[in-house]
Chain A
Amino acid sequence: MSDYSFVGKERVRPDAGDKVAGRTPYIHDLVRPGMLHGKIKFSEHAHARIKHIDTSRAKRLPGVRAVITAYDTPEVRVGFLADNFALKRDKVRQFRDEVAAVAAIDPDIAREAVELIDVEYEPLPGVFSPHDALRPGAPLVHEVDARGRPRTSNLVDLKYGHHTGDLEAMKRASRHVVEGYYTTPRIQQSCMGTAGCIAEFDGHGNLTIYAKTQIPFLAQRDFTKALEAMGLEGCGARVVVPALGGGFGTGLDTHCYEHIAILLAHKTGLPVKILYDREEEFAYLSPRQSAETRVVQGCDANGLLTFRIVEVLQDNGAYTSWGATYPSVMMLPVTSLYRVPAVSFDAKIVYTNNTYCQAMRGYGNPEVTFPIESNLDELAREAGIDPLELRRKNANQPGDESPMKFRIATCGLDDCLKAVGQGLHWTEKQGQGRKDARGRALGVGVASLVHVGGSGRIYRSDGSGIAIRLDDFGHAHVAYGGVEMGQGLVSSLTVAVAESLGIMPEQVHLNQTDTAACPWDVGTHASRGAFMACNAAIRATKLLRDKLFALCPGVFEEIAGKASAKGKSKDEAAKIVGAPGKPEDYELKHALVTKRGLPDEAWAKVDLAKVLRAVHFRQAGTMLSAEYFYEPPSELPDWEKGIGNMSAAYTWGAQGVEVAVDEATGEVEVLRMINALDVGHVLSPQALKGQVYGGIAQGLGYALYEEIKSDQGRVLNAGFTDYKIPTASEMRFPIDLVFVETEDPNGPFGSKGVGEPGLVPTAPAIGNAIFDAVGVRLKELPMTPERVSVAIDAKGRIDR
């Protein structure tokens, strides 16, 4: 079908060689001349007034260069609703709250100094669940909003909803209706590389910050505002992103620790590094939001869906980050996973005195796909229809417009469901009451997903800029503002530049990411990295090729003529290569320039580098470069109405699992998984597989193991000893990957975004398989042995 040279071909990651050799510098490894080490004093209460802060003992400790509090630094606001402050002045609202900070000549002294800071508090009653927070008369987490206006409740001032179709009529038209309540936990992104930054100023007040961020350009905006607040108006902020060590959403906001490093660097005149250790990462970085969700779905006698009601209650914690906007993505599966004629969606986001939450991979999607897909399974059983069959009957189709007004150009959902059914031997295995040799109950389950596959517009620009410069040796230097965080953007972008420009992948050099060198990009989120980078690259390389071919006439003939001249006269040679052609006569492939009509001989294939040097080193010479700003064809939705085609493409998929459930212990083992994903077109097989396998592992953790436990706002399991993420041992089941290629018209080489989907349907697929095995419905994640046991016991009592 395609004659691509590099797209879709097995290739190793361009950054793998350095990474296996330990040569890749992360923020942990960077040192700047004269650098100090910063450390933060966090709150000792979940909710309290700050009465007094005594920093005198800390200041006297030898080696300490600065101790700062809100009382001796300018006010720097942080957060999606600007409701947070780099350092807290009047009260603390969570244990994560930053009360003071120290810069010292080494990390040990900084740590010791922080312990010498005495803070006097007046404790206040706190609210630790959305239900408590919404009770009349509940203590207010914020008494005023960012503009100083009084607040009367703990509801966050963000409105999301969606109400389409004739809900009452569709309820009446329903033969079967199932209602359920589902709970998903707070979990930790658990990047292997912890958070950190280095801030430094030049003599003019310009800031450079080495930051572990996924949004260098939005961060630049935040840091510029911070500079203004510090009285440094007109000064520049430059954001440099070292190798990330994992992102998973943690880098979608600027953090107080970054602003504190800036304040400390400004105060001391020296570079300041703040690096979180693992305990701080768990206790003082922000997790995925927990959600409580009510779902009601109905279908007619034939199993066609009639309506869907979804109501979500989110524990936002004490401040807003971009993570507060999860409902903007929850709407996506609520309105558009399967064909549903009437949809009602409401979300309440509530302040509590728990640690504030932030983005994590999937961004609201797994939180509602677990309820929707669990509930759909119950509906299928209520209606007496095979759960896989019910899903296939209601699968979206290409050409559909969903209730949210998504224009669905390509959709491989039914193919994915079919592949899962075949791979899992669904009809032979489902509902059979099978046992394995150890007497464990066996079951199969399936769940689907839809996610943005063509970026997701959540900002007025959803664009990505790219700048490509060709050097004198035929190499392309690509400045791109997106962030490589492990997902493999480097693979797909390298391949896209080589393929679309016509050079070899080894000649592509990526320059990521420095706001001083790279064009603007909204950020690396929403599974948009490869989709955006490759679309931008395809367009910029087209400009480069046009420029190159316009310069070829005459130059090409001169070089090719010399090469062909061996044993021939000058005239003969000139005759063979012909007169200067038109731009459209030239072609560039594999770094060789050719001309239409010439024979397939070595002399007629001119090294790109020779052409570049010829056009550069002459009077009024030219160096080839091109820039492109790609803005995808999508709409910023009206969030209160929940209407708008937020992505240029949509990614679909289904996961099927077989599980064994030990009825005595409640232990669940996944025996195998089929993961079918409509990826549009495979760009980089190794990177794609890595993203999907990695997503599945995170989905498995969400389903069975992971939960941030806290008591009155204090995190109890702040480390890998007590917070278990899947190891190689838990990932021992075979996984079959099926990639459905639907060739999306907006996708680069037909491809769609794949960064997040892997984890979205895993929990409901496993939950549905547990039901098939033992007949109990788990409505709370994670589905731990305790919860499964309790559910089995409860069923036993009912059955008796």
Chain B
Amino acid sequence: MRAELRFTLNGAAVEAFVQPQARLLDVLRDTLGATGTKEGCSEGECGACTVLIDGRAVASCLFPALEAEGKRVVTVEGLRQDNGDPSAVQRAFIDKGGVQCGFCTPGMVMATTALLAENPAPTDDEIRAGLVGNLCRCTGYVQIIDAVKQAAGELATKERS
């Protein structure tokens, strides 16, 4: 009744035995202990559970776990650099105050990471469009948008050098 599931989580091979209908979110949080990914609405509306699957931002509350078979899954725990420092996106959220209660933050950071991978120099409107699926009730988004711009700038500088 349980199926075997193997995928790469934050660069490491993992395996789990899961119910066929299991959501990726539950496998990450309950089975694998990766609780950085949050559940905010269970219906793909709030974006708190956003993870990257083969580089694409996905709402893990709607994603069947078994479909992650053989894929590369990255959660907020997997963003830090090899030396342990936060990623450019994480650093920018810290610097610009894009963090308040913090519950939307992991999803926001993941969505930003995917957005900048796809569009390294987004306009303000493109940033807003890219984050429209990530709800935040604390910040009014202003300092989050500032953070995305800082991260974009840093990544562009890194790219050039």
Contacts of A20 in B (CB 8 A): 76, 86, 90, 93-94, 99, 102, 105-106, 109
- CB nearest neighbor in B for A701: B137
Shortest Cβ distance from residue B57 to the other chain A in the assembled complex, whole angstroms? 15
In whole angstroms, what is the CA distance A195 to B145 when docked?
28
Do B99 and A729 touch across chains, with their CB atoms under 8 A apart? no
Q: Would you give the shortest CB distance from B106 to chain A, in whole angstroms? A: 5
Q: Decide if A245 touches B132 in the complex (CB within 8 Å).
A: no
**Stretch in B1-9, B41-49, B64-72, B153-161 touching the partner:** B41-49
In this assembly, does B12 line the interface, its C-beta being within 8 Å of a C-beta of chain A? no
**7 cross-chain CB contacts under 8 A:** A20-B105, A22-B37, A22-B105, A24-B102, A25-B35, A29-B35, A728-B144
Q: Which 8 A-B pairs have the closest CB atoms?
A: A22-B36, A486-B101, A19-B102, A693-B140, A697-B140, A686-B97, A22-B76, A720-B45
B90 contacts which chain A residues (CB < 8 A)?
20-21
A residues 241-297 with Cβ under 8 Å of B? 243-248, 277-279
CB distance from A730 to the nearest CB of B (A): 9
Count residues of chain A with CB under 8 A from any CB of chain B.
57
Size of the B side of the interface (Cβ < 8 Å), in residues, is 55
Give the Cβ gap from A287 to chain B, nearest Cβ, in Å: 14
Q: Which of B80, B102, B132 has the most CB of A within 10 A?
A: B102
A726–B136 alpha-carbon span in the complex (Å): 8
* Interface residue? B125 (CB, 8 A): yes
If the complex has contacts A28-B39, A689-B142, are A728 and B132 also in contact, measured as CB distance less than 8 A?
yes
The answer to whether B145 touches A728 (Cβ under 8 A) is yes
Q: Which of A456-510 contact B (CB under 8 A)?
A: 485-488
Q: Which residues of A contact B46 (CB under 8 A)?
A: 192, 278, 720
Cα(A719)–Cα(B40), bound, Å: 10
- Please state if B41 and A728 are interface contacts (CB–CB under 8 Å): no
Q: Decide: A12 near B94, CB < 8 A? Known: A21-B36, A22-B36.
A: yes
- Asked if B105 and A19 sit within 8 Å, CB to CB, the answer is yes
Contact residues in A for B43 (Cβ distance below 8 Å):
278, 719-721
Q: Nearest CB to that of B48 among chain A residues?
A: A192
Instruction: Tell me whether A731 is interfacial, beta carbon within 8 Å.
Output: yes
B24-56 interface bits toward A, Cβ cutoff 8 Å, 1 = contact, 0 = none: 000001000011111111110110100000000
Contact with A along B118-138 (1 / 0, CB 8 A): 000000110111011111111
- Contact A12-B95, Cβ < 8 Å, known A694-B140, A728-B144, A731-B140: yes
Contacting pair B105 A695 (CB below 8 A): no
Smallest CB-CB separation from A244: which chain B residue?
B101
Are A26 and B38 interface neighbours, CB within 8 A?
yes
The reply on A17 being an interface residue by CB < 8 A is: yes
CA of A18 to CA of B86, assembled, Å: 10
* A-side contacts of B40, CB under 8 Å: 192-194, 278
Besides A21-B90, A194-B40, A728-B131, 9 other A-B contacts (C-beta < 8 A): A22-B77, A192-B38, A689-B142, A693-B142, A693-B143, A694-B140, A719-B41, A720-B45, A728-B141
B101 in complex: contacting residue of A192, A279, A686, CB < 8 Å? A192
Q: Which residues of A contact B36 (CB under 8 A)?
A: 21-23
Across the interface, A246 reaches (CB within 8 A) one of B75, B99, B137, B142, namely: B137
Structural contact, B140 and A192, CB atoms closer than 8 A: no
Nearest CB of B to A702, in Å? 12
> From B105, which residue of chain A is reached at the shortest CB distance?
A19
Specify which chain B residues have a CB less than 8 angstroms from the CB of A19 in the assembled complex: 99, 102, 105
Q: Which residue of B lies closest to A282 (CB)?
A: B41
Query: Once the chains bind, are A721 and B45 in contact (CB under 8 Å)?
Result: yes
CA–CA, A689 to B99, complex, Å? 12
A192 and B104 in contact (CB under 8 A), knowing A694-B137, A694-B138, A729-B132? Answer: yes
Give the residue among A16, A193, A245, A698 with the most B Cβ atoms within 10 A.
Answer: A16
A590, CB-defined interface residue at 8 Å? no
The chain B residue sitting closest to A30, CB to CB, is B35
* Residues of A close to B131: CB separation below 8 A: 727-728
- Residue of B41, B77, B127 near A21 (CB, 8 A) is B77
| A715, CB-defined interface residue at 8 Å | no
Q: Do the beta carbons of A485 and B135 come within 8 Å of each other? A: no
Residues of A within 8 Å of B41, CB to CB, are: 278, 719-720
Is A616 interfacial (CB-CB < 8 Å)? Answer: no
User: Within the assembled complex, what's the spacing in Å between the Cα atoms of A213 and B135?
Assistant: 22
B20 to chain A minimum Cβ distance, whole angstroms, is 14
Asked whether B128 lies within 8 Å of A728 as measured between CB atoms, the reply is yes
Residues in B whose Cβ lies below 8 Å from that of A28 = 35, 38-39
Kindly report which residue of chain A lies nearest to residue B100, judged by CB atoms: A486
B35 and A190 form a contact (CB under 8 A): no
Within 8 A of B (CB), among A19-55: 19-26, 28-29
From known contacts A192-B46, A728-B127, infer whether A21 and B101 are also in contact, taking CB-CB under 8 Å.
Answer: no
Of residues 693 through 722 on chain A, the ones whose CB sits less than 8 Å from some CB of chain B are 693-698, 719-721
**Does any Cβ of B come within 8 Å of A636's Cβ?**
no
- Chain A: CB-nearest residue to B136: A192
Q: Is the CB of A697 within 8 A of B101?
A: no
Complex: A291 Cα to B21 Cα, angstroms: 45
Most buried by A among B129, B139, B140: B140
A205 within 8 Å of B (CB atoms): no
Query: Chain B nearest CB: distance from A517 CB in Å?
Result: 22
Q: Once bound together, how far apart are the Cα atoms of A721 and B145, in whole Å? A: 23
A190, A193, A687: the one contacting B97 at CB < 8 Å is A687
Inter-chain contacts of B77 with A (CB < 8 A): 21-22
Least CB separation from A723: chain B residue? B45
> B101–A191 contact, CB under 8 A?
yes
By a CB distance below 8 angstroms, the chain B residues around A732 are 124-125, 128
In the complex, chain B residues whose CB is within 8 Å of the CB of A725: 135, 137
Docked CA distance A19–B100 (Å): 9
**Cα distance A651–B120 in the bound complex, in angstroms:** 42
Which of these, B39, B48, B138, contacts A690 with CB under 8 Å?
Answer: B138
A192 to chain B, nearest CB (A): 4
Contacting residues, chain B, for A13 (C-beta < 8 A) = 94, 97, 99
